[in-house]
Amino acid sequence: MALSINELVTPCLILNQTTLDRNLGRVHAIADKAGVHLRPHCKTAKSAEIARRATAGFDGGITVATLNEAEYFAQRGFTDITYAVSIVPSKLKRLQVIRDRGVTITVICDHLDAIKAIIPQLSLSSRPLPILIEIDTGT
């Protein structure tokens, strides 16, 4: 039974199916033409169904902004996740729990001090942690 807009529990996601399909088609065409793998940022929709549709035909990699999002998507079968916020040592244990499920999580560090801060905990894992280094180019 469909709810009226006044009955929805908020926050909630409301999508126009036609617009979603058009936008996904457009971004897929752009990625295909450029010969790149699409890695959509899933912070807005926060939906495994939308993420599956967004990655259809690509390698399935996604990007998230929080560890809650990473956990959500990992529990729903996503195994290639980029955590798009500079990682801090206090989040590594929680990150490791996700990685222990067989998920590859790539993290971002925005400063050499951030990398130095996480190195001691990284040695506790038998698997390397992929790290992207954010560079401020001034633009």
Please report, for the domain that includes residue 58, its CATH number: 3.20.20.10
Please say whether the beta carbons of 46 and 17 come within 8 A.
no
pLDDT tens per residue across all 139 residues of the chain = 677 888 988 888 888 999 999 999 999 999 999 999 889 999 888 899 999 999 998 888 999 999 999 999 999 999 999 999 999 999 999 999 999 999 999 999 988 898 899 888 887 777 889 999 988 888 7
The domain in which residue 94 lies consists of 38-133
Where does residue 105 rank: exposed (0-12), middle (13-18), buried (19+ CB within 10 A)? buried
Q: Tell me, what DSSP letter sits at residue 117?
A: H
Say if 67 falls within a structural domain.
yes
pTM of the model: 0.86
pLDDT value for 85: 92
As for how many domains the chain has, the answer is 1
